[in-house]
Structure 1
Amino acid sequence: MPIRQLSDSVINQIAAGEVIERPASVVKELVENALDAGASRIEIATAGGGLTLLRVSDDGCGMGPDELPLAIGRHCTSKLSDDIFDIRSLGFRGEALPSIGSVSRLSIRSRTRDGEAAEIRIEGGTLHPVRPAAGNQGTVVEVRDLFYATPARLKFMKSERAETAAITDLVKRISIAFPHVRFTLSGSDRSTLDLPAHTGPNARIARIADVLGAEFADNALPLEAGREGVQLAGYISIPAFSRANALMAHVYVNGRPVRDKMLGGAIRGAYADVLSRDRYPVTALFLSLDPAQVDVNVHPAKADVRFRDPGLVRGLLVGAIRQALALGGVRAATSGADAMLQAFRPGTPPPSTPQPAPFSYTASPSRPLDFGFRESARSDYVAVEPAPAPEPPDFITDQQTLGAARAQVHENYIVAQTADSLIIVDQHAAHERLVYEALKTALHDRPLPTQMLLLPEIVDLPEDDASRLETHADTLARLGLVLERFGPGAMAVRETPAMLGEVDVPALIRDLADEIADSDTTDALTRRLHAIASRMACHGSVRSGRRLRAEEMNALLRQMEATPGSGTCNHGRPTYIELKLHDIERLFGRR
């Protein structure tokens, strides 16, 4: 078949296939244009899940009659300078409007502050001339019969309800980054969503509460950090407040919402010690950096980004989240109190909360870990210094974070009183977290004991993987894994961490090589060591059914207050629940 030049209509339809995946994709492009135009109010109306009608109106700077034909021309934009790496706007490719016009009936009506309003239409790629119109300052873009010019795409659309929900989710996600802009979403296929504009220092958290709910704001920790020109700010949920999927983990890069694998992995890694594998945090994080340090043009829909120094960004994200969790102190999720109130109401079944599956652990003889309790925790490889003696009961008051212990219920739950609440602590889960944190400290504060292999294990690898492992050899040695090059494409493993016991060396080495290739980290080995420590902590903590003395209960509460992450156990379950006094009074009809 001879080579030929494609027509403009076919070129635009091909571009539409890359940029316009579904109605929500159209809304994304049009809302980004409105934000780039400086809009303070954006109104979105839909019908038929966006396939019948999509209308986006804004009060931005608008366009003149002579600019309208350019706006629907390919690769025409006002948002890009000669330096294609200096991208400071949301939209810049100049493909959205012509792509949309090639597969729908598109009309654009716009007016600048001092100019006359004008309108242009394009139907299935056929352009109509500009004509005068009536309108206020700003732009109204109306898209009807999306994909009518390419009906095959309609077969791939989901139900009207699903498309409507996708548009709602997209608008909410974008709105979080622009709290000063009012967003209104309405239509015959939905209930109206109105997100008011916010100003002042609390504008961001107010908008986050509008979108993610007031419950998140009540269970959020502020975060702010910076490193080498990269700034990070936002809010993260406390470990006890989590979700069953990662859809509520919002990350923004220079104001652009992204779904980036590396950023998502960094968030999961930062929460690895305080959340179980099937639970995910809720976040609203905002990264700001020089546009030259991030490539936002690696995907036509601009959903993915690529950083020039991904290790720097990942390290900043993990470090800042862990520091915020540590500084956040001991906090219980408000959802725990809500569940307790629900359980106390007559005739109301308690809400079901998915729990991580329990695991078993077989202990071997070991040295004790003394945490100020008569029952000892045990470990085969490390010894932890005893905790300080508990304070005398006379000095325990209800002014402390977890208050003073008043009773033990069913030989497993400690009931404590604070100045304005009642605390119920799961003694086994709480002490399990304390032992685990002590074990981790011991792991990182001293060289890890190793076991020397009788004969070095030779692992054959691709040359690239072997080179990556050699680069990280010093880090791995500090974790107890001693290896060195053994000719081209091979590594000789001489020592392994004693905590791992009998280990499949080739499998471990290949897992490490894969992770280094993917994210340039050796976290796989650290996770395995922490998993062993977690199992030791589970076995060595105060067991359910053990009766504690008053000083032992108060010692546990004080250690919880001093230990970061003690609000959840090693498996992500809450260690305590707090019920405020006013909630108790509501139960008895006093409020």
Structure 2
Amino acid sequence: MTIRQLPETLINQIAAGEVIERPASAAKELIENALDAGARRIEIATAGGGKTLLRITDDGCGMGADDLTLAVRRHCTSKLEGGLQAIRTLGFRGEALPSIGSVSRLRITSRPQTSSEGAEILVEGGRLTPVRPAPANRGTIVEVRDLFFATPARLKFMKSERAEASAISEVVRRMAIAFPQVRFVLSGSDRATLEFAATGDDRLERIAQVLGRDFRENALEIDAEREGVALSGFAGLPTFNRGNSLQQYAFVNGRPVQDKLIFQALRAAYAETIPQGRYPVAVLSIDIDPALVDVNVHPAKSDVRFRDSGLVRGLIIGAIRQALALGGDRASSTGTAGLMRAFRPEGGSPSSAPWQRPSAASASSAPTTATGMRPFSPHHGERPPGDWSLDRSPYRPFAQPAGWPATDIAATSPSGSSGFAEAAQAAFASLLTPSARSDSRDAAPAPEELRHPLGAARAQIHENYIVAQTEDGLVIVDQHAAHERLVFEALRRGLRERPVAAQTLLIPDIVDLPDEDCDRLMEQAEAFRPLGLAIERFGPGAIAVRETPAMLGKVDVPGLIRALADELAEWDTANGLSARLEHVAATMACHGSVRSGRRLRIEEMNALLREMEATPGSGQCNHGRPTYIALKLGDIERLFGRS
């Protein structure tokens, strides 16, 4: 068989199969070129999910006629002046434009800032048209039409237009987070316009544009550095979690990446604070010397390799856990928002007023209760002027149904009319038991008690929920979830401060493993001993286990050892044993904490609140659920239309 050189067009099409996987891949490459050109405004227009049309317009430095000719040739780039050891740009391969041009109809129009006229070049299925003059603003317009028309087989593997359009939107979101100083506009016939205004140095504002305003209120700032590797960004509270990992973003030297090591470290950092099947929300940015990271791993440039992966993983886990320890006792604002929605009328808004009178038709058709009174049902609008009267209101509070104590409320009012005067309310005082009346008078807390973050306990509802009053609102605490977290933290603190009790095996377990796994385990043997695990070498290809952690009870020793060996092989760390011990501690905490249905005295409630304030991570239980919900006085006033 004779070896021959492939044609240039076929070479480009092969490269396109690696670099341009779908329309979103083309959008990513073109947006990266615009950012490398110094653009401050980038507009993306699509049609047919990017398969019919993909147009990128930027206000960057632009290209002249000579540069356009080279730009559509393979391995022609302006971004590798320092070689592969000093890559500081998003693009560097010189393959994107020729690859796109080989499988589509590509048009590039550009004008540099120093020129008074622009130039244009066309590439159709790999065939070039000579450069020609063209009118253009400063910057570059790259228009891709009929993507993959030259390789129809690839079109068969494309997803629906909606799915492809969504993938392009996700690319734009990632780029927008990475470059808050750039304005992005995404539009087209197949989508609603999506715009991210430039926020300059306010990175959290840009993140809030992409992830929603809730993230700003539920984010913890991350700022750490170790041995020349800097980590910054924001991590969501454990209770601010999602059902998938789509709101996890990672960047290395400003490059959006989908690196397995980073996301595994993120998951490990939240290991004992988020329930299984839920995912944290986070935006992490790693700044590292380009010589210490290899971005030339995959044609899509979404994977990277760190020279010291253990350092990066440890930095991520340590920084996030420290942030959670310092600020993770907060409860997410989504709990408060959910409470507000639950109290709000169906379809209502925070500013809804409960005074609008229903129409005659709606009033006549409104359901009634067994007492003959219409149920309270607030409506939108303002209190009607003029002829509104409490006596005729369907929502008057003093109608006396059958069985109500015979009290002349009108007679108790100084004006002779029913209302909310103190004398009128005195009629209801007779309905309260003596103990209830004394409780209501004597339960007022001292002002200094209200200054605590979680306030002073006022009541216990349904033998499970503590209602506390603060200076500017109230707090509702799940007593079982809160105490469960406190017990777990105490147990975990004990695990860290003293060696774990070990259980000696009468007959050592012998576990057969490859020699390399045995070597890795023996290197960590001294680290395992404080955790109650004693191992030693038992000839070639075997490990003898003499002691196991007592709190694990009857344990699958071979399974435990093999899991630790696999973890060491992949991550060069062995946190699996610690995780198992903490899982047992969490189970013990769940069964040993204050149970739902137990009545607590005021002193016990306040003691629980004070301990929560002093315990890191008390804002969520061991299963990731919130332990309390805070409601500000302003929120309460909005519920009653007072603000």
Same fold flag (TM > 0.5): yes
Q: Counterpart of 1:399 in structure 2: which amino acid?
A: R
User: Which residue of structure 2 lines up, in the alignment, with residue 583 of structure 1?
Assistant: 635
Aligned 8 A contact 2:235 2:281 in 1: yes
Paired with 1:18 and 1:395, the residues of 2 have a C-alpha distance of: 68
- Other structure's SS at 1:502 match: coil
Residues 260-299 of structure 1 aligned to structure 2 (within 5 Å): 260-299=259-298
Contact 2:484 2:592 in 1 (8 A): yes
**Corresponding residue of 1:372:** none
**Paired residue for 1:17?**
17
CA deviation profile, 1:424-461 (whole Å, cap 9, x unmatched): 00000000000000000000100111011112111111
Look up the equivalent residue of 1:403 and give its one-letter code: G
Instruction: Work out the CA distance in 1 between the residues paired with 2:546 and 2:190.
Output: 65
Displacement of 1:348: 7.0
Residue 346 of structure 1 and its aligned partner are, at CA, apart by 3.9
The residue number in structure 1 matching 2:61 is 61
Per-residue deviation, residues 483-515 of structure 1 (Å, max 9, x unmatched): 111121111111111111111111111111111
The two structures have a TM-score, normalised by structure 2, of: 0.84
The one-letter code of the counterpart of 1:454 is: L
Equivalent in the alignment of 1:182: 183
Secondary structure, aligned partner of 1:81: coil
- Confirm whether residue 169 of structure 1 aligns to residue 170 of structure 2: yes
* Structure 1 residue 400 corresponds to structure 2 residue 401: no
Aligned partners of 1:322 and 1:443: how far apart in 2? 17
Map 1:189-588 to 2 at 5 A.
189-200=190-201, 203-347=202-346, 397-588=449-640
SS of 2:130's equivalent? Answer: coil
Does the CA-based 8 Å contact 2:242-2:280 persist in structure 1? Answer: yes
Contact 2:237 2:328 in 1 (8 A): no
Query: Do the aligned residues in 2 keep the contact of 1:396 with 1:554 (CA within 8 Å)?
Result: no
- 1:390 aligned residue: none
Q: Does the 8 Å contact 1:329/1:561 carry over to 2? A: no
**Quick one: distance in 1 between partners of 2:281 and 2:183?**
23
**CA drift at 1:81:** 2.2
Contact conserved, 1:396 with 1:403, CA < 8 A, in 2?
no
2:32 aligns with 32
C-alpha offsets along residues 350-376 of structure 1, whole Å, 9 cap, x if unaligned?
A: xxxxxxxxxxxxxxxxxxxxxxxxxxx
Alpha-carbon distance between aligned partners in 2 of 1:415 and 1:491, rounded to the nearest angstrom: 55
Residues 75, 93 of structure 2: 8 Å contact kept: yes
Query: Quick check: 1:42 aligned with 2:37?
Result: no
Q: 1:394 to 1:114 in 2, by over 3 A?
A: closer
Q: Cα offset for 1:208?
A: 0.5
Instruction: Show structure 1 runs of 4+ deviating over 2 A.
Output: 345-349, 393-396
Q: Say if 1:62 and 1:138, in contact at 8 Å, map to a contact too.
A: yes
Mapping for residues 44-193 of structure 1, pairs under 5 Å: 44-115=44-115, 116-193=117-194
How far residue 210 of structure 1 moved from its aligned partner, in angstroms, is 0.6
- Point out where structure 1 has 5 or more consecutive residues left out of the alignment: 350-392
Where 1:161 maps in the other structure, the secondary structure is: helix
Partner Cα distance (1:199, 1:153) in 2: 40
Tell me the SS of whatever aligns to 2:10: helix
Mapped partners of 2:344, 2:5: distance in 1: 72
Letter in 1 for 2:214: E
Residue 128 of structure 1 aligns to a residue in which SS? strand
In structure 2, list runs of 5 or more residues that go unmatched. 349-444
Q: 1:84/1:329 Cα in 2 relative to 1: closer, same or farther (>3 Å)?
A: closer
Match of 1:533, as an amino acid? A
Report deviation, 1:345.
Answer: 2.7
Distance in 2 separating the partners of 1:396 and 1:322: 32
User: Aligned to 1:464, what secondary structure does the other structure show?
Assistant: helix
Counterpart of 1:523 in structure 2: which amino acid? N
Amino acid at match of 2:565: A
Bigger shift: residues 270-279 or 532-541: 270-279
- Equivalent residue of 2:57, what SS? strand
Post-superposition shift, 1:394? 5.4
8 Å contact from structure 2 (residues 65, 119) kept in 1: yes
1:55 and 1:140 in contact (8 A); partners too: yes
- Measure the CA separation in 1 of the matches of 2:56 and 2:12: 21
- Could you report, residue by residue, the CA deviation over 1:276-329 in whole angstroms, capped at 9, with x for unpaired residues? 111111111111010011111111101111100011001111110011111115
Question: In structure 1, what residue type is equivalent to 2:492?
Answer: K
Q: How far off is 1:242 after superposition? A: 0.7
8 Å CA contact 1:430–1:569 kept in 2: the answer is yes
Which letter does structure 1 place at the counterpart of 2:212?
A: G
d(CA) in 2 for partners of 1:579 and 1:85? 53
Q: Is the 8 A contact 1:342 1:348 kept in 2?
A: no
What per-residue deviation string (whole Å, max 9, x for no partner) do you get for residues 457-492 of structure 1?
111111111111111111111211111111211111
Deviation at 1:82, TM superposition (A): 4.9
Q: Which moved more, 1:154-163 or 1:393-402?
A: 393-402
Per the normalisation by structure 1, the TM-score is 0.91
